[in-house]
Chain A
Amino acid sequence: MAAMNMVGAINLALREEMERDPAVVCLGEDVGVDGGVFRVTEGLFERFGKERVVDTPLAESSIVGAAIGMAMNGLRPVAEIQFMGFIYPAYQQLVSHAARMRNRTRGRIGLPMVVRTPYGAGVKALEHHSESTEAVFCHIPGLKVVAPATPLEAKGLLASSIRDPDPVIFLEPTRSYRMLKEEVPEGEYLVPLGQARKVREGKDLTIVGWGAMVPVMEKAAAQLAEEGVSAEVLDMRTLAPMDFASIVSSVKRTGRCVVVHEAPKTCGLGAEISARVMEGALLSLQSPVERVTAPDITVPLPKGEHYYYITPERVTRAAKRAMSF
């Protein structure tokens, strides 16, 4: 085992899946010779050659569209979109084809493909480099959406995503790429899709989130513990289909729920989670579900980013509001 950051863990997962299955190919802008702008695909071009690690022309729609065609004809493509803010030209391919090919063909054609893309704010980036628009994908039936929180999780979730028979959008939290190192095993390590992870046990309230918000939630939980509040932290890790059962079961025990996401509030996943909690745990609730989200504004450029990004203190205050309701 070696300690590695999330970039290293994703790279390892890609390498091992490509070794395991010759049908796995990577494609995207700068993924080959350059090793990706975040170096996630570093070394793969040298190891597997230009037919399996494909530097494509600069065109997101054709990257995803071609991945669909590859998946229709026996390959398992892993496409990279350089930043989530550049994925929208490919939205038509994802919504109009990737999501519904299985249904359209009455199950005869599935699309085992992954679209990897860095997402999220907090890195003082240029416009369009801080997007967190997972909700616009989670809303589409037929797409799976995954967002890992740690290096180990990233490895196991990506391997599962590549082996999954359906299209998976794999959201890599830019802010977490190099934030934390942890031991990541070589060889088979799978994290099943569709199952939440309990990061911390607690009895007073349940904090729910994913991706780059997980360390923020953990910090908040630690702060709350010092003040005698016991918070349970759930990392949803698969956003579609989401493991609502784990949330409901936790809230039934704790009676309170705080949802954290860095996307804007309106029609964010917090709204769906809140509704599910209401449907499944109404009589256990001791306070309304709190949502800690970005406001409904465009992500500010770096000088204003601190107004936007979620801090542990905001989560802590929301938890206290729930506790004192």
Chain B
Amino acid sequence: MLMDDYDPLKGRMLSILDKDGKVVEKGLEPKIDDALLVQAYKTMVLTRLADEKAVRLQRQGRLGAYPPTKGQEASQIGPALALEKGDWMVWAFREMGALLLRGVPLWRLYLYWMGNEEGSVLEGDVNVTPSAVPVGSQVPHASGIAYAIKYRKEPKVALCYFGDGATSEGDFHEGLNLAGTMKLPAVFVCQNNQWAISVPRNMQTASPTLAQKACAYGFKGILVDGNDLLALYAAAKEAIGRARRGEGPTLIESFTYRMGDHTTSDDATRYRSEEEIAYWTARDPLARLRAYLGHKGLWDETNQKAWTEEAGRMVEEEVKKAEGHAPPTLDDVFVHTYATMPASLKEQLELHRSDLPARKEG
């Protein structure tokens, strides 16, 4: 097993594919069903196209502030690929790839970023939490979900994503500490994309790695090449298996890079260099997996062209669906405050309705 003799304090990074898609750790190459592998790659391409589209839509004023996910496709999809049906996925706000893989419709995600609460009505073959924008705040939720899994004796795990910035928040420490003390079936995936807006990873913590923080909570931690889908899958598969067998949580540090701005409101050129971008561009997670699939004879130029076109069409259709969605009514913004609307709020709603005559709903 990968983690039996792995010591996160030694700082070694698990890497299975090199940047050209060649297997460098033969013994560690995970056995992934060909169809699943192709599905993972296709989702990465779809994510890339959908993400770039979201940025364009924002520039055109058709979508609100949006956090680009470019560069983190493997980091998101690798761990999610190791989940089983019914497992929980807890995320922050930049995890489009993982959500698409688990069957959350793209138009819902667009709808959310267009500023409609209906976008948080998530569907798919997985239990998915809604976005958690306050950084790190979702981590204790994952521990609570894992506690309930254990309590209800469900054969499930909770996989939780967060970023390098989140590891500075109290909620991160408290959530991991709880999971450790109770040996909960949780897997924590820290997507270390090197930047929390303008603050680089080395100013976030003096720890040489984030993976080693697991030592302090008394469970396993592993540093993984975050642009290597195979390595992420292998680490997550093992961590998820351990969690499911009652062997406790794991912290996976996925060492990746945010290719875009923090959000469309940010300008990353203010604080990072072109050399750095070039370094990471050469380590694109899509190119790497595509080369690997090519070596295995699972993917060629024809497939690439056909899927790029099909995924592009899908993206356009999803945008259309999101843009065609009805805007919220006045009642919509009131009715979900409580399970049953209190009389005082009903009264406010009616007063408010009479006080907004000038504008037609929507």
Chain A positions near chain B (C-beta within 8 angstroms): 29-30, 32-35, 37, 55-62, 85-86, 88-89, 124-128, 265-266, 295-298, 300-308, 311, 313-314, 317
CB-nearest residue of chain A to B326: A303
Check B115–A30 contact: CB distance below 8 A: no
Check A85–B116 contact: CB distance below 8 A: no
8 Å CB contact of B170 from A59, A85, A265, A308: A59
CB-nearest residue of chain A to B325: A303
* Extra 10 A-B pairs, beta carbons < 8 Å, given A55-B203, A265-B348: A29-B197, A55-B199, A58-B136, A58-B169, A297-B334, A301-B64, A301-B112, A304-B116, A304-B117, A311-B358
The interface residues of chain A, by DSSP majority, are classed as loop
Check B168–A57 contact: CB distance below 8 A: yes
Is B332 an interface position by the 8 A CB rule? yes
Chain B proximity of A80: nearest CB distance (Å): 12
Check B345–A303 contact: CB distance below 8 A: no
B 266-311 contacts with A by CB, 8 A: 266, 270-271
Is B194 an interface position by the 8 A CB rule? no
Is B10 an interface position by the 8 A CB rule? no
Check B117–A296 contact: CB distance below 8 A: no
Residues of A within 8 A of B345 (CB): 295-297
Cα A33 to Cα B345 in complex, Å, equals 46
Chain B positions near chain A (C-beta within 8 angstroms): 64-65, 112, 114-117, 131, 133-136, 165-166, 168-171, 196-199, 203-205, 265-266, 270-271, 327-328, 330, 332-334, 337, 344-345, 348-349, 352, 355-356, 358-359
8 Å CB contact of A58 from B116, B133, B204, B333: B204
Check B169–A300 contact: CB distance below 8 A: no
Residues of B within 8 A of A32 (CB): 198
Residues of A within 8 A of B266 (CB): 37
Residues of B within 8 A of A265 (CB): 348
Check B204–A303 contact: CB distance below 8 A: no
Check B166–A58 contact: CB distance below 8 A: yes
6 of the cross-chain contacts (CB-CB < 8 Å) are A34-B270, A34-B271, A58-B135, A301-B115, A303-B327, A307-B356
Check A303–B337 contact: CB distance below 8 A: no
CB-nearest residue of chain A to B348: A295
A30-B199 contact in complex given A295-B334, A295-B349, A297-B337, C-beta closer than 8 Å: yes
Check B168–A59 contact: CB distance below 8 A: yes
8 Å CB contact of B359 from A124, A128, A301, A306: A306
Cα A306 to Cα B330 in complex, Å, equals 9
Check A300–B328 contact: CB distance below 8 A: yes
Check B203–A57 contact: CB distance below 8 A: yes
Check A58–B131 contact: CB distance below 8 A: no
Chain A proximity of B129: nearest CB distance (Å): 14
Residues of B within 8 A of A314 (CB): 355-356
CB-nearest residue of chain A to B328: A304
Residues of A within 8 A of B348 (CB): 265, 295-296
8 Å CB contact of B337 from A85, A298, A305: A298
